[in-house]
Structure 1
Amino acid sequence: MKHENWAYKYGPPPDDLPEKDHGWPQSWLMLAFVIVGPLIYFGPELRTIEAWLVATYSTVEAWILPFKDWLIG
């Protein structure tokens, strides 16, 4: 009778275990969903923002290029 009870059979859990240890696979999956989900949902808008950033970079580079050529030679 004593061995049929799980508390006697296995004993108490160790004290050093964290209370909510979900494990690393679940953490990585959650991180992947958090990153990939918005990329899929906001895909067309992200292409527009990326095109705007590239255009801005090209404009700034065109402004800086004469000074760069003057300084570096």
Structure 2
Amino acid sequence: MKRPWDINPLPPPDGSDDKGPDPISTFLLLAFVVVGPLIYFGPQLRTIETWLVSAYGTVESWLIPIRDWFLGLMG
């Protein structure tokens, strides 16, 4: 008779701790996942950051006259 091991797996052996991952290893894995891409993609991220800052400056230069006009009406 064929046992459906993929549906009903064997129970864990006696004495095994099934508490989940260690908190330190979870923290280290999270740090690696966050810091690794920052190191690897550093130059590209710097380019994207420069583009975002220049786009913000452009939008701000468009909105400053509108803000000054609106605040001139209020005050």
Q: State if a TM-score over 0.5 links the two structures.
A: yes
1:21-60 to 2 correspondences below 5 Å = 21-60=20-59
Q: Indicate yes or no: 2:45 matched with 1:66.
A: no
More helix by share: 1
Aligned residue pair count: 58
Which structure 1 residue ranges, 4+ long, deviate > 3 Å from structure 2? none
Identical aligned pairs, as a percentage?
Answer: 55
CA offsets 1:2-44 (integer angstroms, 9 cap, x no match): xxxxxxxxxx65xxx7x35112111111110001000000000
TM-score by length of 1: 0.71
How far 1:68 moved relative to its partner? 0.7
Give the distance between the partners of 2:60 and 2:20, measured in 1 at CA: 49
Deviations 1:26-72 (A, max 9, x none): 11111100010000000000100000000000000000000111112
Unaligned runs of 5+ in 2: 1-13
TM-score by length of 2: 0.69
Provide the aligned C-alpha RMSD in A.
Answer: 1.6
